Amino acid sequence: MPDIEELKKEVVNSQIWRSIFRGGTWSDTPRDRANHMIGNVWMHIQPAKVRKRALEWTYTWGLGGISFFLFLVLVLSGVLLMFYYRPVPGLAFRDIKDLTYAVTLGKFLRNVHRWAAQAMVLIVILHMLRVFLTGSYKRPREFNWCVGVILLTLTLFLSFTGYLLPWDQLALWAVTVGTNMAGATPFLGNAGPFGASLMHMQMNNDIRFVLLGGTTVGANTLVRFYVLHCVAVPLLLGVLIILHFWRVRKDGFSAAPYGEVTEPKLDTWPNLIKREYIAAAACLLVLMVWALLVNAPLDVIANPHATPNPEKAPWYFVGLQEMLYYFDPWIAGVMVPNVIIVGLMAIPFIDPSPKGIGRYSFKERPFANTMFLLGIIMWFIFIFMGEFCRGPNFMWYWPWQSWLLQKPAPLATWDLFGPAGVGKYPTILGLALIGAAFSGVVLLPKLIKKNLSLVKATLGCAVGFSLVALILRYGAHVPLSHGAWIVFFGTFISFFGVLIPQRHIRHLDWARYLVTMILVACTMGLLVKICARLAFNIKYLVTIPSVFLNI
Amino acid sequence: MYRKLFVLFNFALVAVLAYAIWRSAHPMWKVYQRTYYNMAADAMEKQAATIKDPAAAAKMREQAEDLRNTPLKIKQILTVFGGVDRCTTCHVAMDEFVNPTMKNDFTQQPYAAHPLVDGIDFNKTHNFQKYGCTVCHQGQGMATTAKDAHGFVDNWQKPLLKGKYIQAACARCHANFEHAKGMEFVALGKKLFYKHGCQGCHAIDGVGQTVTVDLGDIADKPLERIEPYNFSLVRIDGKALPKDQWTLQNWIFAHVASDPESFVVNDPLAKYNPQPIAPTGMVNWTADDASGHRELSEQDAAAITTFLLSLTHEQIPYQYHVAGIGPMPDPDPHFADPVAHGKYVFEKYGCAACHGLLGAKGRRNFNALGPGQVSLDQYAKLSDAQKIAEMAKGREPTLTQVVGTYDHQELVNKISNGVPEAAVARYNPDGPMPPLYMPAWKKRGLQGKELDDLATWLLTIGQSNQSQGGF
């Protein structure tokens, strides 16, 4: 039995091995290990030494690396799938059937690709959450955070463009839902504000038309999405990933507080590399088992003349689709995602606090963590509502209810400020009303100079809203269950929209304070509107037709 | 620890990949194919034992051995219609290259050869290598697992046509099939369709009336257009259908073999919608006819379903459309006797759809006036189910009873102008609009001598059948 260590040494020190990996005879000195990283084009993307804390599993959870690994898996499996796929309606569907039934490992390959794509979307979001919670977006990493946000957006777009390719009913209608939102873009979409009236946008020249290559999802759309999915977006994503990695390395890898004294470091080889390998292997193992157990869905062939009921967007956009229930398409489908993206990119610039970099700390950053977690939780709650609580005709079905249950048509909705009063002069009074309410919420926290006790103030709000509910109960016969909604949402919104900002950010400078509070107020407005619709069946609080603003 | 994990994960990865490859390499079709080759080889060796000439016997044994060692592969037929049928991968006996005689003694599927049907050798008339399988049998030709290929799965809407239903596929290419051998069942369906006046409400490609949907492409109907709720109410032989039987065939069959009102219930009491919606206007074909017999038997219903499943807009190249055997039906036969002509006209325009065979039984028209309905005061006190039952007592006029109150000219006027939808009297004024109404036939080509003779015939049935039931 030969000694394995001896054998390894022979191999590593052989001329062939040394010709591939630069450096002299390997004697496992720190210098050798550093050289191994520096002298290798793939390894060189990582530093030669990393902080000890950055190696903790419970610090990064390996999420960034797993995202990238999933990207590699997707590129590889995607290229293999491309050998069998023709982006032509009819043929496309048939090729998927071929992959399923006739190609060796074809079904497995497609399953891996599908599930890796879904996993990547989730992991990238979790990676963002991790980076936020450890304050890793702060100076000097502001720019890289923005690149990360773009990468997240591109990941979603990449997954979305791939959704159409099987050319089944699922694909056609999910993409129809998604792209119809583009038609509601202000100025650029034919159904969006000022689109038709000011910009002369029509079905056949607006931004939706550009995306689809036609007025409906058809053969041109398939080719466009194919090129976007297989060439354009991956290229862009690849370029930005390089940028992202370069900045990660240059900005001091993970867990480096800005300007702090140097911490003890360990050699990247093998300390980080072995962890990365294990993470990738575990990830691949989970993927492969998942692909063996669960088949990627394939519905009947796409049929533009038969709409499934309900038609749903891919799960990661179902939250936005749920918003369509409460808001006009240009708000739900265009403004909400854009405000989210811009808001995310603004975070490093409106949070100047140098605290809590490189560690999880709720105490040091209570406001930032609270608001961000609130946003993430809302995003997933809306996805849950859209995916599991919406049945035929997009009506509300609890997850345990059968969709075969007949439900009465929803009651007629009403507008809070109807034709009387504000509705009579919507432009002047309505804009003034919205402006007053919005600026009230935005300014209130900074105007209260006193230090409030959070518990007492929250209780005070709850009591106040309970009084409102009681007055409505006995004055206007509003049922107590509705009163409970008012108390809960009123207190919730006062807590997160006024009390928390009052406590934590009223000392910010005006510019940062205003941007932060506008984002907070938008989030709270979203909740107010959803509460108004779900509890009180209010379609719009105010309608201002002159500026297409119905909220 | 990392060293152990490294080894563990690498082994696990290789194992899972090996399993994936193994699973991909061991599909069920390989078992079927190998079994077939072995069975065929066994049969051949048995035959060789009976041959006297040792050289010929040895040659046959050699052939059997070759058959046994045939490499396994996915077989597919690229059909002249552009389809890909992989059925012969499992049903090897129908592969001409393996089984040139296209015959064997196996009875068990998937090993049996294609049977002769009514003495017809189908491979001779419809060469399988040219036409494939699914053009007649339906199912999912590209699939290579039995369940998916037979098509009773979520992502396939045209599953196998079983039994006599397969004649639907014959009629898609063979026109004028009334006299063709082996197509008696679909021919019966066609005959019943016209005899019972289905075309009085359902046009086929624009021929017939347009009271409701045109059935010209009913075989292509996407299942997305059928409410799952309605499917869940369908009962065939008194039993609900399992999900994999929610097929178009069963949907159509249920419409004829059971009372359509029992599953296309809609919303007559406006419980789920702002306005009440009547149940389907289609009548109950399983009800007794005037002489106490069930109007259409289950067999009749299956025949009509078969005929309807032949109505497709799928593109079949013109060279595969086959004219039928026997005389073409005369589109405009000549009658000397105006009464006989009138009766012919009654059937031609599908009047039986509403007024019953020979006008002897007015059919259900939901929420129209009908015999035996309670007064509205009493109606208000009834339960929901009883209310619906009362409204369902609404009837179209039974002509044998009412023509006596008309003279010839009045009948002509009534038929010409019809009774518009909105003018049909409702039993319950808050209930839904009755779904059936009398079209203005002058707009639908019924005029001149046809109209005149129809009225003449109608006046004869009133005199002879005064005592028949109905409203």
- Asked whether A155 and A162 are in contact (CB, 8 A), the reply is no
- Digit-coded pLDDT (tens) for B183-192: 999 999 999 9
Which chain B residues are within 8 Å of A95, Cβ to Cβ?
none
Asked whether the beta carbons of residue B222 and residue A285 sit closer than 8 angstroms, the reply is no
Of A77, A114, A80, give the one whose Cα is nearest residue A297: A114
Q: Does A427 touch chain B (CB under 8 A)?
A: no
Residue A75 C-alpha, separation from nearest chain B C-alpha, in angstroms:
19
Q: Same structural domain for residues A478 and A514?
A: yes
- Give B-chain residues touching A291 at CB under 8 angstroms: 20
Of A94, A100, A105, the CB nearest to B20: A105
Do A281 and B272 count as a contact with CB atoms less than 8 A apart?
A: no
Residues of A in contact with B20 (CB under 8 A): 105, 108, 288, 291-292
Task: Kindly report the pTM of this predicted structure.
Answer: 0.92
From A354, A388, A422, the end of a domain falls on A388
Mean pLDDT to the nearest integer, B228-254 = 94
- List, in order, residues 6 or more apart from B65 with CB less than 8 Å away: B41
Q: Which residue of B has its CA nearest to A95?
A: B142
Tell me, yes or no, whether A347 and A269 share the same domain: yes
Chain A residue whose CA is closest to B19: A292
Chain A / chain B CB contacts < 8 angstroms:
87
The predicted structure's pLDDT at residue A292:
96
Give the distance from CA A185 to its chain's centroid: 20
In this structure, the answer to whether residues A331 and A416 fall within a common structural domain is no
* Domain span holding position A39: 4-45
Number of domains forming the structure of chain A: 3
Same domain, residue pair A111 and A177: yes
**CB < 8 Å to B273, chain A:** 409
Classify the phi-psi angles of B287: left when phi > 0, otherwise alpha if psi is within -120 to 50, otherwise beta.
Answer: beta
- What letter would DSSP give residue A411? P
Residues of A in contact with B145 (CB under 8 A): 101
CA atoms of A56 and A113, how far apart (whole Å): 30
CA dihedral A169, A175, A177, A182 (to 10 degrees): -160
Interface of A with B in 63-122 (CB under 8 A): 94, 97-98, 100-102, 104-105, 107-108
Quick check: B21 and A105 CB within 8 A?
Answer: yes
If asked whether residues A383 and A473 sit together in one domain, one would say no
Q: Which residue of B has its CA nearest to A94?
A: B142
What residues 251-310 of chain B have any CB closer than 8 A to a CB of chain A?
271-274
Give the distance from CA B384 to its chain's centroid. Answer: 33
As a whole number of angstroms, the distance between CA B348 and CA B457 comes to 14
Taking CB atoms and an 8 Å limit, are B142 and A94 in contact across chains?
A: yes
A491 contacts A461 by C-beta, under 8 angstroms: yes
Q: Which CATH class is domain B334-471?
A: mainly alpha
| Nearest-by-CA chain A residue for B7 | A278
Distance (Å) from the alpha carbon of A94 to chain B's nearest alpha carbon: 8
Q: How far is A84 from chain B (nearest CA, A)?
A: 15
> Are A292 and B13 within 8 A, CB to CB?
no
Torsion of CA A64, A66, A69, A70, to 10 degrees: -110
Structure token digits, residue B10: 């690498």
In the predicted model, is pLDDT for residue B374 greater than 70? yes
- Show the beta-strand stretches assigned E in A404-520: 414-415
How far apart are alpha carbons A497 and A531 in whole angstroms?
15
Whether chain B has a CB inside 8 Å of the CB on A294: the answer is: no
pLDDT at position B291 is: 66
Give yes or no for B317 touching A (CB within 8 A). Answer: no
Q: Minimum mean pLDDT among A413-417, B152-156, B230-234: which range? A: A413-417
Q: What is the CA radius of gyration of chain B?
A: 30
Does A252 lie in the same domain as A122? yes
Q: Where in chain B is the domain with CATH 1.10.760?
A: 334-471
Residues A38 and A134 in one domain: no
Cis ω on the peptide bond leading into residue B110 (within 30° of 0)?
yes
Chain B CB contacts of A100 under 8 Å are 143
Q: Measured between alpha carbons, how far is A444 from B248 in angstroms, rounded to an integer? A: 63
Q: For A270, which residue in chain B has the nearest alpha carbon? A: B2
Co-location of A439 and A360 in the same domain: no
Please give the residue of chain B at the shortest CA–CA distance from A98: B142
CB contact under 8 A, A300 and B157: yes
| Same domain membership, residue A103 and residue A33 | no
For B231, the 3-state DSSP assignment is helix
Sort residue B428 into left (φ over 0), alpha (ψ -120 to 50) or beta: beta
| A307 touching chain B per CB within 8 A | yes
Q: Could you check whether the bond before residue B434 is cis, i.e. omega within 30 degrees of 0?
A: no
Q: Would you say B113 and B93 are in contact if contact means Cβ atoms under 8 Å apart? A: yes
The pLDDT tens digits of the residues spanning B332-364 come to: 788 889 999 999 999 989 999 889 888 888 889
Beta-carbon separation of B13 and A403 below 8 A: no
Instruction: Say whether both A427 and A328 belong to one domain.
Output: no
Given this model, what pLDDT does residue A149 score? 97
Nearest CB to A102 within list B2, B23, B74: B74
Strand partners, B364: B395
Chain B residues touching residue A281 (CB < 8 angstroms): 6, 9-10, 12-13
| Contacts of residue B124, Cβ cutoff 8 Å, sequence gap at least 6 | none
Q: Are A404 and B229 an interchain contact pair (Cβ–Cβ within 8 Å)? A: yes
Q: In this structure, are strands A265-267 and A49-51 parallel, antiparallel, or unpaired?
A: antiparallel
User: What percent of chain B has a predicted confidence (pLDDT) above 70?
Assistant: 97
Q: Residues of B333-359 as b/e, b for ≥16 C-beta within 10 angstroms?
A: eeeeebeebbbbbbbbbbbbbbbbbbb
Residues 6 or more apart whose Cβ sits within 8 Å of residue A450: none
Q: Which residue has the tokens 């190696």?
A: A55
CB-based contact, B25 to chain A, within 8 Å = yes
- Chain A interface, best mutation among B6, B14, B142, B234, by max A CB count within 10 A: B142
Q: What is the pLDDT of residue B211?
A: 82
Measured CA distances, B265 to A310, B255, B260, B281, B285 (Å): 21, 12, 8, 10, 16
What pLDDT was estimated at residue B465? 45
Question: Taking a C-beta distance cutoff of 8 angstroms, is the pair B354, B200 a contact?
Answer: yes
Given a contact cutoff of 8 angstroms between Cβ atoms, the answer to whether A28 and A38 are in contact is no
Considering only CA atoms, give the Rg of chain A: 27
Is there a domain that residue A93 lies in?
Answer: yes
pLDDT, residue B290, reads 60
Torsion of CA A531, A532, A535, A539, to 10 degrees: -130
Q: Does B12 touch chain A (CB under 8 A)?
A: yes
Domain identity same for A452 and A353: no
A299 chain-B contacts, CB cut-off 8 A: 154-155
Please report the pLDDT score of residue A104 as a whole number.
Answer: 92
Q: What is the mean pLDDT of chain B?
A: 90
What secondary structure letter does DSSP report for B112? Answer: S
CB-CB neighbors (< 8 A) of B232 in chain A:
404
Question: Which CATH number goes with the domain that contains A197?
Answer: 1.20.810.10
Q: What are phi and psi of B88, to 5 degrees?
A: -70, -5
Question: Residue A377 burial (CB < 10 Å; 0-12/13-18/19+)?
Answer: exposed
Question: A285, B12: Cβ pair inside 8 Å?
Answer: yes
Q: What is the pLDDT of residue B467?
A: 46
Distance in Å from the first CA to the final CA of chain A = 78
B183: how many CB neighbours lie within 10 A of its CB?
24
- Contacts A296 to B, Cβ<8 Å: none
Residue B312, pLDDT above cutoff 80: yes
Interface contact flag, A274 B229, Cβ < 8 Å: no
Residue B119 has pLDDT above 70, yes or no: yes
| B143: contact with A, CB 8 A cutoff | yes
Dist. CA A188–CA A198, nearest whole Å: 10
Chain A contact present for B75, CB below 8 A: no
**Contacts of residue B28 in chain A, CB cutoff 8 Å?**
none
B146 touching A, CB under 8 A? no
Residue B471 has pLDDT above 70, yes or no: no
- Asked if B143's CB is within 8 angstroms of A285's CB, the reply is no
B-chain residues within 8 Å CB-CB of A266?
A: none
- Tens of pLDDT along chain A (551 residues)? 668 888 988 998 899 988 888 888 888 888 888 888 888 888 888 888 888 888 888 888 999 999 999 999 999 999 999 999 999 998 999 999 999 999 999 999 999 999 999 999 999 999 999 999 999 998 889 999 999 999 999 999 999 999 999 999 999 999 998 888 889 999 999 888 888 888 888 888 899 999 999 999 999 999 999 999 999 999 999 999 999 999 998 887 776 665 666 778 888 888 999 999 999 999 999 999 999 999 999 999 999 999 998 988 899 999 999 999 999 999 999 999 999 999 999 999 999 888 888 888 889 899 999 999 999 999 999 999 999 999 998 999 999 999 998 888 877 788 887 766 677 788 888 888 889 989 999 999 999 888 888 899 999 999 999 999 999 888 888 888 888 999 999 999 999 999 999 999 988 999 999 999 999 999 999 999 999 998 888 888 888 888 888 88
Element (H, E) at A381: helix A366-388
How many Cα atoms within 13 Å fall on the side-chain side of residue A8?
6
User: Is A71 found in the same domain as A18?
Assistant: no
Contact with chain A for residue B16, Cβ under 8 A: yes
Is pLDDT at B240 greater than 90 in this prediction? Answer: yes
Q: Does residue A307 belong to any structural domain of this protein? A: no
- B340 CB near a chain A CB, below 8 Å? no
Q: What is the mean pLDDT of residues B246-270?
A: 93
Match 């999900």 to its residue by tokens. Answer: B243
Any B CB within 8 A of A55 CB:
no
Q: And the tokens for A53?
A: 């804390």
DSSP type of residue A262? P
pLDDT score of B90? 96
- Partners of A105 on chain B (C-beta within 8 Å) are 20-21, 24
pLDDT of residue B89: 96
Chain B residue at shortest CA distance from A391: B228
